Structure 1
Amino acid sequence: MSTTEYTRVYYGNFILATRVREELELADIIPIIKDEGESQRLGGQGSLSNGIQEIYVHNDELGKAKVIVARVEADMEAAS
């Protein structure tokens, strides 16, 4: 069984991921951003992800991060 110290808390487009990242950082949570498209571009390959990013946080901060992500998603839903 594989264990990791980080858990994905968000998966979505670049614009919303940026908002989530900023809110997490304001709460003193340092997220890890995974962008397969950018990695492929930098490696000289084509990209199929169309700006989709994943945000991971350390498991110690998971509960706090989930609350922040839920709030950001609700704010964005209300704005649309």
Structure 2
Amino acid sequence: MEDVNYIKVFSGNFIIVQLVLDRLQSIGINAIIKDESESGRLAGFGSSIQGFQELFVNKDELDNALPIVESVKSELKV
């Protein structure tokens, strides 16, 4: 099995993911966004869930990232 260095910490709509991403970047965490609907659109396929994204962080940054994610979720009641 392949060793995966990134862990999903959040998933949701584009706007909330961008908010979480901004907060993570403000403390020096470089997260990765996975957007399958955009990938499908670029490849010529449709998607039923537009704007749904997943946010991943490196395992080494997980302990610092989770409080940020939880903070945003509690602010927005997500």
| TM-score class normalised by the smaller sequence | over 0.9
Structure 1 stretches of 4+ moved >3 Å: none
1:49 Cα deviation (Å)? 2.1
Structure 2 counterparts to residues 1-80 of structure 1, below 5 A? 1-77=1-77
1:3 Cα deviation (Å)? 2.4
| Structure 2: 5+ residue stretches without partners | none
User: 1: distance between equivalents of 2:72 and 2:28?
Assistant: 16
Instruction: Give the letter aligned to residue 47 of structure 2.
Output: S
Percentage of identical aligned residues: 42
| Structure 1: 5+ residue stretches without partners | none
RMSD of equivalent CA atoms: 1.3
User: 2: distance between equivalents of 1:29 and 1:45?
Assistant: 32
Equivalent residue pairs, number? 78
User: 2: distance between equivalents of 1:3 and 1:67?
Assistant: 25
Normalising by structure 2, report the TM-score.
Answer: 0.93
